[in-house]
Amino acid sequence: MNITKRSKNVKEKIEKIFRSSRASGYMLSFNQFHGRERGSVDLSGDIVSAILSARARSIMFIGGADTGKTTMAEAAVGLLSRKWRTGALDLDMGQSHIGPPTTLAWGVAKGGFNGWEGIKAEELYFTGSLSPPGNLLPSIAGARLLMDSALKRCEKLVIDTTGLITEPVGRIYKQYKIDILSPDIVIGIEKGDELGHILDAYRKQRRPRVIMVEASEHAVLKTVASRTEWRASKFREYFRGGRTFTVRLASVGLRYTGEVELEGLSGRLFSFRDALGRDMALGYIVGADLKKKKLIVRSPLKKGAPVASIMIGRASVQL
């Protein structure tokens, strides 16, 4: 069997891990990030031994919303970055920590995890949406491109994902993400047996190794309102200090992450891409005159940046 179930005696196991000489020197206390309580972090002995293995380069965390998934990913980044050059790949475009909302991004953690603000985005990928449904291809394509890039520069890569696990789209999305990214380890954090329909299918496979963990009772519950306000604050921070200017469509390529739309573009988010297809910066449309083939936009893009194309998404800015 390739699926490891966690022992019932969680507290004793965690205390043993923190006392062990193997984990000491790598493990951080994750109860005091930024001086505020974040709840307990549960890295079981199975998880610690698995992710410390030299054979485990890529570790993916999967779980529903409010299961403590991201906090466990933070703990893994902190543990691994004490010894290896460790990357964090953030695939949650709705609650993104490394890049602005609607993007996937990765960055390098050095000497432990000291908050997401300490991880600079090495690369972004604009998905055009705040959630995967209706936008599965951009999110999976971007995940693969960023993972390939990160693994060229990192010894270990911790992958955080969205909380989408419901039938049928959550199952299909997560299973194909596992297939395409092919992580060495998948850590499933669940309440009850809510991930069985996704991860039981990998029971007989050699790869990935799947480790199941019960969701922490201390996981922080986020309301829809708090998630919306958090995204708005991230957008305000990102576009603060940006400039308003005109983009002439005759001089750049034009793509859409969804259907081609010629009206109702005010407020729509988009990305500037360079000649290699890499996302350089986001912007949002202030006004559009497609007859004259021009857009008035606001963006932190630097003057003179080599724009080859723009990618218009489905989501609108929330400020």
Confidence band (pLDDT; 50, 70, 90) for 2? low
Task: Say whether pLDDT at 205 is over 70.
Answer: yes
Looking at per-residue confidence, does 211 or 23 come out higher? 211
Which pLDDT tens digit goes with each residue over 40-49? 455 677 889 9
For the chain, count helices (H), then strands (E): 7, 14
Where do the domains of the chain lie?
A: 3-214, 224-316
Q: In this structure, are residues 265 and 317 in contact, taking their beta carbons and an 8 Å threshold?
A: no
Q: In this structure, are residues 281 and 315 in contact, taking their beta carbons and an 8 Å threshold?
A: no
SS (H, E, C) 100-166: CCCEEEEEEECCCCCCHHHCCEEEEEECCCCCCCCCHHHHHHHHHHHHHHHHHHCCEEEEECCCCCC
Over the chain, what is the mean pLDDT? 87
Alpha carbon distance 309, 290 (integer Å): 16
Task: Say whether pLDDT at 14 is over 60.
Answer: no
Instruction: Give the model's pLDDT for residue 4.
Output: 56
Looking at per-residue confidence, does 27 or 266 come out higher? 266
Max Cα–Cα distance, the chain, nearest Å: 68
Q: In this structure, are residues 249 and 289 in contact, taking their beta carbons and an 8 Å threshold?
A: no
Alpha carbon distance 144, 218 (integer Å): 32
Confidence band (pLDDT; 50, 70, 90) for 262? confident
Q: Give me the mean pLDDT over the 7-24 stretch.
A: 40
Residues of the chain above pLDDT 70, percent: 86
Q: Identify which of 46, 76, 41, 61 has the alpha carbon closest to the alpha carbon of residue 165.
A: 61
**Two tokens, residue 92:** 């949650």
Beta-carbon neighbour count of residue 249 at 10 Å?
A: 15
Task: Confirm or reject CATH 2.40.30.10 for domain 224-316, answering yes or no.
Answer: no
How far the first Cα of the chain sits from its last, in Å, is 49
Looking at per-residue confidence, does 102 or 290 come out higher? 102
Task: Confirm or reject CATH 3.40.50.720 for domain 3-214, answering yes or no.
Answer: no
Instruction: Give the model's pLDDT for residue 41.
Output: 52
Instruction: Give the model's pLDDT for residue 16.
Output: 41
Bridge-based pairing of strands 309-316 and 253-256 is parallel
Which pLDDT tens digit goes with each residue over 82-128? 999 999 999 999 999 999 999 999 999 989 998 999 999 999 999 99
- Residue 178 CB-density burial (10 A; 0-12 exposed, 13-18 middle, 19+ buried): buried
Residue 215 is given by DSSP the state: P
Which pLDDT tens digit goes with each residue over 134-185? 899 999 999 999 999 999 999 999 999 999 999 999 999 999 999 999 999 9
Instruction: Give the model's pLDDT for residue 239.
Output: 97
Residue 7 is given by DSSP the state: P
The residue written with tokens 């034009």 in the block is: 254
Which pLDDT tens digit goes with each residue over 56-74? 999 999 999 989 899 999 9
Task: Say whether pLDDT at 24 is over 70.
Answer: no
